Structure 1
Amino acid sequence: MNIHGLRLFYQVAKLGSFTKAAERMRISQPAVSSQIKKFEQEIGMSLFKQQGRSVVLTEFGEELTVKAENLFSLEDQIESFIEDYRQGEAGTIRIVATYLPANFLIPRWAATFKRKNENVNVMITTTNTKDAFEQLQHYKADIAIYGGGMSERPEEVVWDELFEDELWFVVAPNHPYANQSITLAEMVKEPFIMREEGSLMREHLFSLCHSHQLKPPKVALQFSGLNETIRSVMAGYGANFISSLVVREYVERQQLARVHVQDVHIKHKIAICTRQEEKQSLLVNKFIETCKNNH
């Protein structure tokens, strides 16, 4: 079917005039009449009939007008859809993140982004480091947002570091070590409340003890959740080794207190990761800029 012929017919039907349709389409009125006759011959149906001195739509022409209107309305929607994607105003961003940024950074970034980009669908998945990078490398995610050490960084990704996150020793405000400066040997004599074996902070702490040739601390309480470990320390028992992002507000409200351990300065990297040698879409770049401007 000749879509151009259908478009000319639709303009005549909508405007009620061959002359007005010609002006709208920027062609001559005889050209409009000629092409519509060819279109009628192609489809084998009459679109117009003579009624006195006027030309009106046939019954088939009236029904075809409705179908054509649906078609060209959908065409307009598709054009808008494509343009929105090109301009970064619609579409989907798939983000995979490790626990720390997913819980303490991305909610604010995503809310800021959505306020300015209501038509963009933002999908966020929280997972471990290995799975996060695998999803990125296998095109299941557009961005990986990572919080952790440099040793886990794959060579196949572009690493855009946002900032460094300090790891703190914390205790209850009434603990003898609260706000004090002590040695690591003194600190690890305290009972610790930590997450399960294999958790990143627990591995960092044990590795730190190993490098200083110290016996690791006793894990007196073990929880699968981070909030439970924090609240147990706040209740007045034991110590924790944890990201400053997680406990900074508790320390500022004096619900927890830092212990300044001498010669221990461990930091995590917070980074946005993308695939190597891949040009990012405007939409992805807009989200990355939001993260950079709001950390």
Structure 2
Amino acid sequence: MSDIRLKVFYTVASHLSFTKAADVLCITQPAVTKNIKELETELDIRLFERRGNKITLTEAGEILYRHAESIFEIYRKIQYDLGLLKEKQAGELLLGASTTLSHYILPPILANFYKHFPDIRISLLDANTEKIEEAVLQKKVVLGIVEGKSKNKDLKYVPFLKDEIVAVVHTSQELANKDRISKAEFLGIPLVLRENGSGSLEIIAHELHKHDISLNELNLIMQLGSTESIKSFLANSNCMALLSISAVSKEIVEGQFKIIDIDDIDIKRVFYFTHLQGQLEKIPEMFLRFAQNSITKSYNI
């Protein structure tokens, strides 16, 4: 099928309107109708149900729409990757990222970015979310990547990546015999969390509050300043921690850690780029776009 017919179909399906599709594509409505009819003839199946002035997708239309979305996303990535080859940039990029991001998510992205732009020198500040936001406000870094977003009106937040915080235990410990626990059991289990100021701790507190649970009600025995120190602690103690799935996925696959489900508690979050209000300069803007395109599970606005 031709790309123009697929584009016309995708636009009609997105707006469920031939008129709006014609406006968006800057063609006449009869031209839109003609392309849709030719596409339905080519595929030998009806794509839209027409009821008066309203249209809906048929089952076949819904299938084609999903595939068209994927196709046009691939086209956008092709255009982006080819565009990178044309851009020769040099300069300095001052980044700041919270611990989970700087340790487990950013390294392969930074390595790939360096392959494309070897003349850009990158400095990365590794700290918790609170300190990264302070660094952005003080212009010590031009672009931060943080866990959650604050209410600071001087900062702009751009969604980057979805993440999940899970309850984990070391498989060498007695708690690993459990697969699922109740909320009541959860409150009694010795728990290790990140330090105050950590974006992870803020998200955990926010989500637990939805279940009428405060941090003070937890059997919190220790707060540590890094995820790696928490993992080492768990290896030597019959305790539980709430950690990013990104930080423990390798150890889970290797059988060192195990996820314990907690009834009705599901902690999801979004990582955000953050920068001062206003337009980013070219190099940080380029990195932001590069990072978003590097993550297949990036957050869609």
Same-fold call, TM cutoff 0.5: yes
Corresponding residue number in structure 1 for 2:249: 248
Aligned pairs for 1:99-248 (under 5 A) are 99-147=99-147, 149-150=148-149, 152-173=150-171, 175-176=174-175, 178=177, 180-196=179-195, 199-202=198-201, 205=204, 212-213=211-212, 216-235=217-236, 237-248=238-249
Task: Judge conservation of contact 1:178–1:257 (CA < 8 Å) in 2.
Answer: no
| Counterpart residue type for residue 266 of structure 2 | H
Question: Aligned-pair distance for 1:197?
Answer: 5.1
Corresponding residue number in structure 2 for 1:24: none
Question: Aligned-pair distance for 1:159?
Answer: 1.9
The CA distance in 2 between the partners of 1:138 and 1:196, in whole Å, is 22
Task: Judge conservation of contact 1:88–1:286 (CA < 8 Å) in 2.
Answer: no
TM-score, normalised to structure 2's length? 0.60
Label 1:122 to 1:254 Cα distance change in 2 as closer, same or farther (>3 A): same
The CA distance in 1 between the partners of 2:290 and 2:249, in whole Å, is 22
Number of equivalent positions:
207
Larger Rg: 1
Question: Taking every aligned residue pair, what percent have the same amino acid on both sides?
Answer: 18
When structure 1 is superposed on structure 2, of 234-243 and 209-218 the one drifting more is 209-218
Label 1:182 to 1:144 Cα distance change in 2 as closer, same or farther (>3 A): same
**Matched position secondary structure for 1:106:** helix
Label 1:267 to 1:87 Cα distance change in 2 as closer, same or farther (>3 A): same
Label 1:178 to 1:289 Cα distance change in 2 as closer, same or farther (>3 A): farther
Gaps of 5+ in 1: 1-85
When structure 1 is superposed on structure 2, of 125-134 and 250-259 the one drifting more is 125-134
Matched, 1:293 2:293: yes
| Counterpart residue type for residue 218 of structure 1 | N
Question: Aligned-pair distance for 1:289?
Answer: 2.3
Label 1:200 to 1:122 Cα distance change in 2 as closer, same or farther (>3 A): closer
**Matched position secondary structure for 2:188:** coil
Task: Judge conservation of contact 2:207–2:267 (CA < 8 Å) in 1.
Answer: no
TM-score, normalised to structure 1's length? 0.61
The CA distance in 2 between the partners of 1:104 and 1:175, in whole Å, is 27
Gaps of 5+ in 2: 1-85, 296-301
Label 1:178 to 1:146 Cα distance change in 2 as closer, same or farther (>3 A): farther
Structure 1 residues 137-167: Cα deviation after superposition (integer angstroms, max 9, x where no partner): 34332211112x34x1423333221122111
When structure 1 is superposed on structure 2, of 203-212 and 254-263 the one drifting more is 203-212
Corresponding residue number in structure 1 for 2:76: none
The CA distance in 2 between the partners of 1:233 and 1:188, in whole Å, is 18
The CA distance in 2 between the partners of 1:126 and 1:277, in whole Å, is 24
Matched, 1:272 2:301: no
The CA distance in 1 between the partners of 2:242 and 2:131, in whole Å, is 24
Structure 1 residues 214-233: Cα deviation after superposition (integer angstroms, max 9, x where no partner): 56232335544432221222
When structure 1 is superposed on structure 2, of 117-126 and 214-223 the one drifting more is 214-223
The CA distance in 2 between the partners of 1:270 and 1:210, in whole Å, is 20
Label 1:200 to 1:288 Cα distance change in 2 as closer, same or farther (>3 A): closer
Q: How large is the Cα RMSD of the aligned pairs?
A: 2.8
